[in-house]
């Protein structure tokens, strides 16, 4: 079964981390309210069991800034160093088919990681469709696995496809 979720945020100070794990025993999904800082957030997951079912995030629209947050579909942070580096497809994936996809992400404001040394954030899935930040499209190559640094200042926010 494929679950398709649309997530949007109307707040300039709200950030989100949406982690789509599987459709098995799916939990409710939505937007995570950020702590008082209005920035970094904890993961919201769909799927109590991290099994590699097909996962599709159809459209994410952020009407403000994206700060120190991750969007992940079907990918595990296996080294616990933050999404966007050293990630892998969720354990148990034995099929050659693409299991996770983020179709479209539009961030109306700017996007960045944080000033904290050693942290890492990412937009990551097996395939990514379209990414727009502050009105500019990010050049994703449909024929290659993308790994693009999005925050040149802090060097801690990437868009990554895991093949």
DSSP character for 34? Answer: P
Terminal C-alpha separation, the chain: 21
Report which of residues 110 and 47 the model is more confident about: 110
Give yes or no for a contact between 84 and 158, defined as CB atoms under 8 angstroms apart: yes
List phi, psi (to 5°) of 114. -145, 175
Res 90: pLDDT: 82
pLDDT tens column, 86-128: 998 887 666 666 678 899 999 999 999 999 999 999 999 999 9
Report which of residues 16 and 112 the model is more confident about: 112
Above pLDDT 90, what percent of the chain?
Answer: 48
Distance in angstroms (rounded) separating the CA atoms of residues 29 and 70: 15
Mean pLDDT, residues 46-70 taken together: 73
Mean pLDDT, residues 37-55 taken together: 44
**74-78, 93-97, 104-108, 132-136: range with lowest mean pLDDT:** 93-97
Claim: this prediction has a pTM higher than 0.85? no
Q: Is the pLDDT of residue 29 over 70?
A: no
Average pLDDT, rounded, for the chain? 73
Q: How confident is the model at residue 56 (pLDDT cuts 50, 70, 90)?
A: confident
Res 41: pLDDT: 45
Mean pLDDT, residues 29-50 taken together: 37
Q: Is the pLDDT of residue 19 over 80?
A: no
Name the percent of the chain in helix, strand, coil, to the closest 5.
Answer: 0, 40, 60
CA distances from 13 to 69, 83, 114, 146 (A): 12, 21, 14, 28
């Amino acid at each position: 079964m494929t679950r398709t979720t649309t997530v949007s945020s109307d707040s300039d100070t709200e950030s989100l981390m949406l982690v789509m794990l599987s459709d098995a025993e799916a939990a409710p999904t939505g937007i995570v309210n950020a702590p008082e800082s209005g920035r970094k957030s904890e993961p919201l997951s769909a799927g109590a069991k991290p099994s590699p079912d097909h996962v599709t995030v159809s459209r994410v629209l952020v009407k403000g800034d994206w700060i120190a947050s991750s969007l992940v579909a079907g990918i595990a942070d296996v080294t616990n160093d933050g999404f966007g580096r050293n990630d892998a497809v969720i354990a148990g994936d034995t099929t050659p088919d693409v299991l996770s996809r983020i179709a479209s992400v539009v961030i109306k404001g700017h996007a960045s990681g944080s000033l904290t040394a050693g942290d890492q954030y990412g937009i990551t899935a097996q395939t990514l469709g379209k990414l727009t930040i502050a009105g500019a499209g990010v050049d994703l190559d449909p024929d290659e696995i993308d790994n693009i640094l999005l925050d040149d200042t802090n060097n801690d926010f990437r868009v990554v496809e895991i093949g």
